[in-house]
Every structure is written in C-alpha cells, then in structure tokens.
Amino acid sequence: MTDIFELLKGKPGDSDYEKKGVIVQGITGAYGSLHTKQMMAYGTNVVAGVTPGKGGQKFEDKVPVYNTMQEAVDATNAKISIVFVPAKFFLSAAKDALESGIKLLVAIPEHVPIRDTMEALDLANKKGATIIGPNTPGIMIPELIKIGIMPPMPFKAGKIAVLSKSGTLLYEISDALTNSGFGQSITIGIGGDPVNGTRLIDAFEMVKDIPDMEGLVIVGEIGGDSEEILAQRIIDSGFNKPTVAYIAGRAAPKEKRMGHAGAIVMGTYGSAESKVSMFNKANIPVAKRPAEVPVLLAGKMEKSD
Amino acid sequence: MQLLEFQAKELFREYGINLLDSISSTNIEDGRKHAKELGYPFVIKIQVPVGGRGKAGGIQKCQNDDEFELKYPQVMDLTIKGEKARAILLEKMADIKKELYLSIFLNRSKRCYTIIASAEGGVEIESVKNQIIKEVGLGDVSDELAREVAKEMELEGNTAEQFVDTLKKLSKLTIEKEAELVEINPLAIMQDNTIMALDGKFVTDDNSNFRHPELQQYQEKTAIEEQAEKSGFSLVELDGDIAVVGNGAGLVMSTLDMLSDNGGKPACFLDVGGGATTESVYEALTLISQLPRVKGILVNLYGGIVKTTVVAEAFLKAYENNLIDLPVFSRLKGTESEKAKEMLQGSRTNIFDSVEDAINAAVMGIKK
C-alpha cells in the first residue's frame, strides 16, 4: 500500500523533508496557472511546469516550464504531479507522467472518458504509482502541502482524516469541522467519476494507521458501491477510531446523473439507502446535514473516551 | 445516456447480433404501414428509457387490425415512471424455448468490465438466479472465456456456439462504443434453437461522446438542457416548485436532500460548476426563468474565494432586466457578504448565513 505521507512529506532527515517537489502539467493554461499560484501561496513546493511547446519559459519568473514530463522529472527529480489539461488530453498527459517516474498523480480534469481512466490506471499499477482522481479537488495536508484546487480557508491542521467524493462538500464539511475545533490531518478527494484512481477503500488504507489520528470522516454520495465496500472493510478490520459519514443524494431521482458522472442510481445499485444501511451496520452514524458531521463526531469521541 | 430499446437494437444489428424483425414508429399512420409489412402476430412495445415496461402494460400482443387500432394508441399514451413514449416498436412474435440473461457492464468497484450471464433470464437483474460473473479487464472477451461461460450455463452444441458468437459481438460493441452497460435480457433460445436478442439496454459513457459522433443521433435533450450544457452546467429537471442552484454536484445534491427533509419540493438540480461569477449566476437564473412551476429559487454557493458581491450583482441585474420576478433565498459563503447583503436590501433576494436558514425561509416563503 502506498505510504501517502512519505510521498507527500518525505522522511525526517531528507533534504526535501516537508518540501516535496510538485510538477504542474498544464501550468500555462488559465485554470492551471490560477491554481498553481494558489498552491504556491499555500506553501506547496512547485518545482516545474509542463506545457508542450512552451518549454524554456518561466512561470511567475520562477518556475521553469518544460515541454515534456521526462525533462521536468530529470531536472527536478520530483515524484508528484498535478494535471490540469483538458479531459480529452488527460490520458496522454498521465502516460507522459507515469512513464517519467511520477509516483503520485493528482488528476483534476472532469469529463475524462472512463476507458482513458482505466488505461491510465493500468499503467499506474504497472509502475507502482498512485492516481488520485480524476474529477477530484485534490489532496492536502492542511497547513503543509496542497496539491489541488481547494480554497485554503476551510482547512486547519489537526487529527481528523477526511475522505470525500465531492469537492464542495469536502470544503463545506471541513469548514464545519474546523469551526468545531476539529482540524484535519489529511483530506483526500476521491473524485466524482464512476472509476476512481484511488477508491474510498484505498484512501482508507492510506490513512487508517496514522498514529495520532483521532477520527475519520467519510463524505460519500449516491452511485456505485464504494461506500458499502468501505463500511464492510471497516467492520472486517476492526477499525475503531471514531468515524462519521455523510451521504449526499438521498432525494435524487433514480436513473439520473446528478452532476457527477458517477452520481447515478441504477435500480437499487448506488442508492443512498443501501449506503446508509451499511454504515449503520458498521456502527457509523450518518449525518443528515453537513453541519451535523462535527456534532456526531464529538458524540462518537465522547463514547470512545 | 441510456438508449431506447430500438436504438440499442440498431447497434446490435450493426454488430451482427441476431434479432427478430421489428420496425419503430412515432405515429399510428406509420405504425399501420409497418403492421402490414411485418404481418400479424406481433408485439407492440413502448419505447421509454426505463425498465418495468411489461408490468406497466407497455408491451402488448397484437393478432389483427382491430387489436392494433385499439392497442397502439393505448400504449402510446402510457407514462411509465414519469416517462412518456418516445416511439413504438412493432416486433414479430417469438416462439421461445428458454430465456437467458447476458450483460457486460462497467464494474465500478473492481474497476474493470464484467460479464454477467445466466441460464435463467427474463426477469430483472436483481432477481436473476445462478449468475455467472467474469471480470474481463477493458472488455475484451476471448473465445476461450466465452466458451467457458457457455459451458457453465450448460449450453450445448450449436446453441453454445451461437452464444459464444453473441458474447464476442457484445464485447466488441462494448469496447468500440465505450458503453457503461450493454444488456440483453432476455437473450432467447428459440424453438428452432437459434439465439435472439429480444430486448436491449445500452448505456453510454457520456464523457466519451466526443469520440462518438455516430451515437449523438440518439442524444435526447430538451432545449433547456442543451443550453445548460453549453454553459458548462449540469441540470436535472424535477417536478417541484423550488429551483435549487449551487456550485458543485455534491453541494447541490446535499441542498436537495435538506430541502426535501424540510418539506420543500425541488424544481431542478442546477450545478453551475466550481466558481461563481456574475455571468454564470445570471446564466443560471436565465435557465430557471424558463422552467415551469417555479415559485422560488434556493441558492447555495460555497465559494472560498468567491466575492459574494459578484453574485449579488447577478441577482440585481436579473430583476432589473425582468428576467425573474421570483423570491430568491440564498446562502452565500464567501468574502464581502455584509456588502452583498446591503446591495440586495429592498430586492426580493434574501441572504442567509446558513443553508438551513435559507431552506426554512424558502419553504415558508413558498407556502404563503
């Protein structure tokens, strides 16, 4: 299993400990450049950018831009990249990154064809790399590193891990947690697509052994069965840290895609009822509203004291 | 998108999967001509993008002209799970010996395509017994695997050969058209031992639409949905009276849930995507102004870096241009919200700090 913290922070004593280099693919585009500036302002060490045909430029007079990932990786030795290219170019950008030795690829684009995601994933598996996304807000260790598009305000360093399919609900719920005194040790955006590079269950495996973790928050939504599978894993593994879930889409009609490509109930597959009942079985309370998440979490913590 | 049965069958035909003779029509005049070409007896099948047609009376046998004249309009007038008939398919009657089930679908949690087959088809997938399940990566089915499935279904001889052929063709179709689901239920063994696809379900991966211009003829979008898509929004029309707008699919779903919990009825799900600008909010209000039944608008925008004054401007502009004359109940999380409140004073837009307050006000406001 990927040691996500080692990838994001490195080991104490490393020359780049807590300053891991990140390469931005699509750095010169409007969206890529906006969020690169914000990541840099947050303290993320952006070491290079890649835009084919724009090699040799400097982004913000500071970050060198290369034509290919191989050049960028050779020059910086970075193991992390974030992709901002349009969805139809995602697969080639991902291949470029994975072939060049990237070990953590954060895939921001929405509307990537499923087949392209699956092909990228296949290559990532062969290369021992991890893909977060596509259609994700990204991943962050609050107050240390942000590889994504999330606004900084909702987040605060702390001891709660938050895993979320949705971007804005990740912000909303982290905001509610922060306001109740629950900072976050890590937040991982799974993404709203039917096929995720890192599934809820994979993200759980990444975070479950954080030594000082005090709680886990799972933000799911209708579609697929990854919440059910995670609930079963939590039951089977005997994981006993205070855990709270939230599921969006209880009132959504069946057979309709609700904004996210993955948010669709087909028959009973993917329904909110199914997810809520599995969480109940795992003794994980499910909040009715985002604002209720910290309340339920506090309740769980009291009980476990 | 989910294709209608006759559209799925057009693809099946293109890929050489065996079908009964059938013709689709959208009015009884054409239907009459088709009835003559096809000859009795045949089955009248309503074309709607949902299951459960048989139970709802959407599939009727037809033996002669009198029955046809009676049943065609009846079936055409049905509404099944809120869906009106898009067309009527006339299909020759089948002399069935046995009904099988066969599908290839995108297995989201396993992240691969998966075959489900059963020798006991003809019922909804949830009730299909003795399912044979095979994971097939990106969808390619080898001869060997297809034979294995046939064997596990206890098919023999020529029937087994035909099944193998059908499964291989279904796999080719799944891969080439980038389907999320292709289902034949029932796949029937006829009295003469030929195998035929009696029904067809086909769901595409809409994100791959740009590679499949040939499938766009099946795209069924209302003018307003098309307009929403052009703006980069996603819109689902619902049958209530409070339009729900927000940024981010999860947030809008969550708002629908809370509104419904409080007794409100959503008129739509409208996700304007990540950021919120004066233009995007104005465009959202333009779309809502075209929806029927809307009595109020519930807005839930979570913008870490969004200036709420920018959103306030959009509301003011919409009233000024007489685009809307509806009350707006809005929760705007972002910067400069005090200033935004001032701007909107005296207008029909109410700004709230919490989404719960906005929802309560919307539900109460609409009831009045």
Q: Which CATH number fits domain B21-92: 3.40.190.10, 3.30.2310.20, 3.40.50.2000, 3.30.1490.20?
A: 3.30.1490.20
Top-confidence range, A248-262, A271-285, B339-353: A271-285
Q: Which of B178, B181, B257 sits opposite A248 (nearest CB)?
A: B257
Whether the Cβ atoms of residue A256 and residue B236 lie closer than 8 Å to each other: yes
CB of A221 less than 8 A from some CB of B = yes
- Fold match between domain B96-216 and domain B223-367: no
- Residues of chain A in contact with residue B181, where contact means CB-CB under 8 angstroms, are 266
Give pLDDT, residue B156: 94
User: CB distance B304–A154 less than 8 Å?
Assistant: yes
**Strand B201-204 to strand B179-190: parallel, antiparallel, or no bridges (unpaired)?**
antiparallel
How sure is the predictor about B24, in pLDDT bands with cuts at 50, 70 and 90?
A: very high
Per the structure block, which two tokens stand in for A214?
């005090």
Give pLDDT, residue B124: 84
| pLDDT tops 70 at residue B275 | no
Give pLDDT, residue B366: 87
User: CB distance A250–B257 less than 8 Å?
Assistant: yes
Q: How many CB atoms lie within 10 A of CB B262?
A: 13
Question: Which residues of A are designated catalytic?
Answer: 260
pLDDT digits (tens, 9 = 90+) for B206-252: 999 999 999 999 988 888 988 998 888 999 999 999 999 998 999 99
Detail the DSSP E strand segments found in chain A: 21-25, 45-50, 58-59, 63-66, 80-83, 104-107, 130-132, 138-141, 145-148, 157-164, 184-189, 215-221, 243-248, 286-287
Task: Return the SS3 of A93.
Answer: helix
User: CB distance A288–B109 less than 8 Å?
Assistant: no
User: Best of B171, B205, B210, B247 to disrupt the A interface by mutation (most A CBs within 10 Å)?
Assistant: B205
**Strand A215-221 to strand A243-248: parallel, antiparallel, or no bridges (unpaired)?**
parallel
Give pLDDT, residue B51: 84
CB of A73 less than 8 A from some CB of B = no
User: CB distance B269–A199 less than 8 Å?
Assistant: no
CB of A273 less than 8 A from some CB of B = no
Per the structure block, which two tokens stand in for B291?
């929806």
Is 0.90 surpassed by the pTM of this model? yes
pLDDT digits (tens, 9 = 90+) for B68-102: 999 999 999 999 988 899 999 999 998 999 999 99
CB of A219 less than 8 A from some CB of B = yes
Give pLDDT, residue A23: 98
CB of A179 less than 8 A from some CB of B = no
| pLDDT tops 80 at residue B342 | yes
What percent of chain A clears pLDDT 70, i.e. is strictly above it? 99
User: CB distance B250–A166 less than 8 Å?
Assistant: yes
Give pLDDT, residue A305: 64
User: CB distance B106–A194 less than 8 Å?
Assistant: yes
What percent of chain B clears pLDDT 70, i.e. is strictly above it? 98
Distance from CA of B78 to the nearest CA of A (A): 19
CA distance B51 to B48: 8
Whether the Cβ atoms of residue B24 and residue B42 lie closer than 8 Å to each other: no
User: CB distance B207–A114 less than 8 Å?
Assistant: yes
Does domain A4-132 match CATH 3.30.70.270? no
CB of A37 less than 8 A from some CB of B = no
Taking only Cα atoms into account, the Rg of chain B, rounded to an integer number of angstroms, comes to: 25
What CATH code would you report for B96-216? 3.30.470.20
CA distance A120 to A107: 11
Give pLDDT, residue B45: 97
CA distance A5 to A186: 9
DSSP states along B230-299: HTT-EEEE-SSSEEEEESSHHHHHHHHHHHHHTT--EEEEEE--S---HHHHHHHHHHHTTSTT--EEEE
CB of A195 less than 8 A from some CB of B = yes
- Fold match between domain A4-132 and domain A153-304: yes
**What count of CB pairs under 8 Å joins A to B?**
155
Catalytic residue among B99, B180, B183, B283: B183
pLDDT digits (tens, 9 = 90+) for A96-125: 999 999 999 999 999 999 999 999 999 999
- Residues of chain A in contact with residue B208, where contact means CB-CB under 8 angstroms, are 113-115
Whether the Cβ atoms of residue A294 and residue A176 lie closer than 8 Å to each other: yes
Give pLDDT, residue A284: 98
Give pLDDT, residue A90: 98
Give pLDDT, residue B368: 64
Distance from CA of B332 to the nearest CA of A (A): 12
User: CB distance B248–A167 less than 8 Å?
Assistant: yes
How sure is the predictor about B306, in pLDDT bands with cuts at 50, 70 and 90?
A: low
Topology of the domain comprising A153-304:
Rossmann fold (3.40.50)
Q: How deeply is A240 buried, as exposed, middle or buried, from its count of CB atoms within 10 A (0-12, 13-18, 19+)?
A: exposed
Break chain B into its structural domains and give their ranges. 21-92, 96-216, 223-367
- The mean of the pLDDT values for chain A is 96
Per the structure block, which two tokens stand in for B275?
């950021």
- Residues of chain A in contact with residue B238, where contact means CB-CB under 8 angstroms, are 253
Q: Which of A121, A258, A288 sits opposite B269 (nearest CB)?
A: A258
CB of A118 less than 8 A from some CB of B = yes
User: CB distance A192–B126 less than 8 Å?
Assistant: no
Give pLDDT, residue B50: 85
User: CB distance A267–B125 less than 8 Å?
Assistant: yes
pLDDT digits (tens, 9 = 90+) for A149-175: 999 999 999 999 999 999 999 999 999
Give pLDDT, residue B351: 86
User: Best of A115, A146, A274, A276 to disrupt the B interface by mutation (most B CBs within 10 Å)?
Assistant: A115
CB of A16 less than 8 A from some CB of B = no
Please state which of the ranges A44-58, A222-236, B168-182, B291-305 shows the lowest mean pLDDT.
B291-305
How sure is the predictor about A1, in pLDDT bands with cuts at 50, 70 and 90?
A: low
Distance from CA of A167 to the nearest CA of B (A): 7
CB of A112 less than 8 A from some CB of B = yes
CA distance A70 to A84: 17
User: CB distance B138–A258 less than 8 Å?
Assistant: no
| pLDDT tops 80 at residue A183 | yes
pLDDT digits (tens, 9 = 90+) for B53-66: 999 999 999 999 99
Q: Which of B50, B111, B124 sits opposite A255 (nearest CB)?
A: B50
Active site residue B356: no
pLDDT digits (tens, 9 = 90+) for A2-26: 799 999 999 999 999 999 999 999 9
Give pLDDT, residue B353: 85
Topology of the domain comprising B223-367:
Rossmann fold (3.40.50)
- Residues of chain A in contact with residue B50, where contact means CB-CB under 8 angstroms, are 255
User: CB distance B252–A259 less than 8 Å?
Assistant: yes
User: CB distance B234–A257 less than 8 Å?
Assistant: yes
Q: Which helix (H) or strand (E) holds B30?
A: helix B28-38
CA B319 vs CA A140, B233, B279, B283, B324: distances in Å = 41, 22, 14, 13, 6
Break chain A into its structural domains and give their ranges. 4-132, 153-304
CB of A174 less than 8 A from some CB of B = no
Q: Which residue of A has its CA nearest to B263?
A: A251
CB of A23 less than 8 A from some CB of B = no
Give pLDDT, residue B336: 78
| pLDDT tops 80 at residue A129 | yes
| pLDDT tops 80 at residue B134 | yes
User: Best of A35, A168, A217, A271 to disrupt the B interface by mutation (most B CBs within 10 Å)?
Assistant: A168
| pLDDT tops 90 at residue A276 | yes
User: CB distance B49–A113 less than 8 Å?
Assistant: no
